[in-house]
Structure formats: structure tokens, C-alpha cells
Chain A
């Protein structure tokens, strides 16, 4: 049995019982690590796979073609927009089930004489709920339903996110457009122009895209020493861009968190560059270096955004403009807090994603699977957009 086949067997679709646990919250995803919510035990790892391209493009052929990138970009944005509701669906489905059960229980309440019948109805409803959860689809439908699609399509991604240049390019494009949009707002503030310098940023994005394309092309040279040489160079060059974007983010966050939205896009670029580095090292079977790159990136990201919480993101929400000692003050406080939650969630998810990029490497080592084989299996996958690797003992 070849090592790739072995990896292909170990890397599998997310098992149905795990889908149910993910849907009902018994298991949660932190970066690419699946943890038991109650015990904190690591259950396994998720890894993006090539079919993820179906979410950003119209067909399997999109990924891997530079010419298709603009199309990927446009459809990617639309897909992300549509899928933003995905995360809510999971909770809503569970809530609906619970509400229905509660309604049944309420009907039972006070009707002792109908208890037997009521019990049956409760059981029926619970049975229906289980059926509902068990019938959670596989593949892309599941990703949409649980909100995992948003995570996978975000700049941080799930696992080692470089499974194709098309995806990487699409992600870079989305981040770059966000920076352009923010720059329009920032230009009115004189001292911020120097901080951003759009032309330099654009050049860095172009370089990163070229590196991502080169990374992809190196897979065609599979097995050759030249490919590894190129991957090493890619990881070194990507480090330069990672640090540049991190410096920009740091400058934007240096005095206050008022520029946090601009800094956030810079951090997306940091996450993408970091992902490219880890992927390159994994492709070279450099597990130790890959872990080291992931750890160092994680410290970098956490030091920049780790201290930012709702209080900072809500722009002085703990001192709302409304008059203190009034219900309006309370409402303003609550509105500012809720408005800040999506960005906060994004910051936390990115920190976790960057921190866990190399997390499966230990388990792979125990299983005797080479890191490159793991990545190759994800790249060769035909059906599942996310693959599951069970955590080793």
C-alpha cells in the first residue's frame, strides 16, 4: 500500500455521527481542531480539500487555472455572501427542534390523564429531531448548513488552506478588494495615507499571488528535488510578505483600535502568507519547520489581535453617547456590542486557524503518514470539500 493511499484511507469524509455532534454543538471546531465541548479532548482535525472549489467556482475545472481566477473571485464573493446565513441555520434547526419538544412538553403539563399519549408524542418528536440531525447532508450542503463553508472560504481557511491556486487567488483578491475599499475611506485622513500606501500593498499582493501560483505549479514537479527547492524559496519569500503585512497591521493598531477594520484586512493577508509558508513546508515533508512556522505565525497574529475584544471593537461601547442612567444608554451599549460581534468572531477564528495549521502533524507522524502525502490526499480528493483526520491516541 502506498503512503498516499494510506493517507487517503485515514483522511475521510466527516463521519455522520461527527456531523451530528458538530451540528448540535457537542463537538466544536477551533481552527482545524475538533474538540469535545465538554471534555476539551481533541477528537480530530479538518482539512480543506480540492472540492472546496465548488463553493467558490462553478465547476471542478476552475481550480488550478490562473485564467479562471477572476471568475472565482466574483463567484466567491457571492458565495460568501449567500453563505453568511449558514452559521445561523445550525443553531436555528436545533432551536426549532427544542421549541417543538418544549411545546409538546407544555401540552403534557397539567394533563396527567393524557400522559401516556403525551409521552408518545414527545418520543415521536425527539425521534424526528434525531432523524433531522442524522439526515444532515454530506459535503457542501453540510458545510453550508453548519457555517463551516464561511470558515473554509475565509482568508484563514481550515487547516492548510492552499489546495489550489484558484482558491488562494480568490482569497487574496477578496482581501485586496477590502483593502481598496477601506483605503478610500482612509485617504481623507492624512497620516493614514503613509501607513497604507496602496501601490506598495498591491505589489505585495501580486507577489503573494505569484508565489501561490508557483506553489501550485511545483506539484506538477512532484518528487523532484527542484520542487522542494522551489517550495523552500516560496516559504522564505512568503515570510517577507507576511511580516510586511503584519507591520502594516501593527502600525494601524499602534495608537488605538479605530483602524481595526483596515488592520483586519492586513491580518487576512498575514494569515494567507502564513498558510502558504506552512503548506510549502508540509509539501517538503518538513514537519518540524512547518510546526515552527505555524507557531511563530500564531504568536504574531495573537500578539496583534489577541487583546482586542468587544470593548475595543465597539468603539468605546462602554461609554455610549446616550445619557447614562437611562434605558437608551443600555440599548446603545447592547447595539454597539452586538454590531462588533462578527468582526470579533473573525479575529478569534483567524487566531485559532493560524495556531492549528500544523496541528495534525503529530497525529500523522504517529500514523506513519508523511505530511506531504496528507496534503496530496487533500489535493486529490474528488468529492469531499473537507476531510477528517482522527486524532491519534
Chain B
């Protein structure tokens, strides 16, 4: 039996079940819309589906077609991603042009539109007619976080395949069986990852520095309640310094790119041009990286206060995120007040949004820490 390409995808039994049945029935629709949170395997599944559609054996995962498709270099596979913040009408027009051409290898053309929610109004509308009545045997796979991100006229033309957060057990099983991690560590990671498998994998990167960082942040949070004002400021400083994360890694990569650029430059002027572009791109990368790390820290902080709230109301530790710290949670939950906790959680949400709008993160953390003192 085929469809081996799907074997690597963790915890999406329902979506895979559906797709396998579709493949078997050969009633392939011309457009699918994969919706679900980031990091649960939508992209991977889209590529696997593309492979299965073109593989002679229905997705063996080994033949040249499968391998090329999964790597994203198959000529009849077209991958569209946002350039900058949006997918533009030019990209869609270009796509429409290429659809008109015959397929290279005589099979179905598959068009994957990643982050389809970032199509702007012009692009979305331009896609409508193509999506409604494709000319040949194209299959569109749109990937989005939710149906609402898209124009209703778009989603109404697609078969929607929901992707779910990966159940905790599935992540634990995967960690234990395939990666040889011990049960308690796997449970901890699965809880932190909140059902996104890619996040769980991140936790393992770089000798688990993320896990260490989390411990440090939690130990800061444990002592902030009721501490003097000066203490709050020092905690804020400490939190901010954690946001740097493994920036060094990125800086290293960027430095290499810079050096390479000198080699490929054809003339001094050309070199300056490339470097200028690179510098801008690197700055964007850095600030993006930084805001991701800040979000990560805010996630950790909010998970802590969420746990306090949950424990206070339920007196159970079965679905605490930071269950490995349940003793401290039990003690602190006893003292905390519900209104304060809900308020802090709301404020953390606000800060998250503010940081997205380039508010000075240092000031944001100080504000937050002053608030946390009073919990």
C-alpha cells in the first residue's frame, strides 16, 4: 500500500485519514484548504499530499518523484509564499500564466499556497476564478491558520481540512519512541509545547537551552510576588536579557553571509549594493528573532500565572503546564487572588500585542514586573 509519505507526520490522524481516503477514492478535489495552528504539520502534509498525487505508487516516499516533491523541487509543484508581508496579485498572475502551460512530467500540477491568509484583497480575488474552475488537473493546497483569514469566496471553493493541535500523548510517544527521551522529560516538553510539535522539537535544540531559560524565568517569577520595587526592576532587567536568546547563532550566520557576499560581488559597486541589501535583511531578521524570543518569554510568564489560576480554581495538577513545579504552584496559588491573576494575564496579552507594535520591550517588562509584584 502507498501513502507512506504520510508516516512522518505526528498526531494528525484525522486529517491524514481523510486525505488517504480521498487518495484511495480518487475523487481528488481541485482545491484543499489546510487550516490549523502553526507548527502542527500542515506544510509537511501538503508536500506529502503533492508527492502522493504524483507518485506512481500513491506516495511511496522513496521514488524520485516523491523525494523531489518532499524537498519542494519537483517541476510540477509550485510553492507560493508571501514576499514581504503579502502574497501579491503579481504572484497570482504569474501562477495563472504557469498553470496554462502543460505539466513537465505529464502529471498533476500541485500548487501550494503557504500562509494563504496573507494574500491581499487583489490577490485573493484574482485567484477566485482559477480556483473555481481549474482548466487542467491542477490541485491547489492552501495553508492558513483559520478559515476566517481568507475571503469567504475563497474558502467556499475549497475542501477544508482541519489540522489539530497534537495531543499530549502523541508528542510524548514520539519523543520517547523516536528520540529516546525519558518519560518525565517528554511529559514536561509536551506540556510546554501546548500541542505544537515543532515547538516541542525546538525545546530539544541546542542542548535544551530553552528549557534552561524557562527554569531561570520561573525562578525569577517565584520570588517577585510581594518583593520591593527595586527587585521588580532587576527582575525586568533579567527577563530582558533572556530575550537575547541564542542570537549569537544568528549573528554568526549573518557574518558568514556578509563574507560570502564579498566573494560573489562582481565589482565594488555591486558589492556595496549587495551588502546594503544584506544589512537591511539582517536587521529585519534580528528584530524578528528578538520579538519571537520576547513572545516566548511572555508565554512562559503567562503559563505560570495561568497555572496558579487553574490550580486555585480546580485544586488539580493534571493539566498544569508547568506541572514539574507543582509544589510551588500549590503554595503560591493559595495566596494569589483570582481577580489579580486574571488581570495579570490580560495585561500580558496586551503587552504581547504592544511588543508587536515596536513598544520598547524594556519598558514593557518593567511595567509587567511592577504588576506581578502585587499578585
Do A and B pair up? The answer is no
Residues of chain B at the chain A interface (Cβ within 8 Å) = none
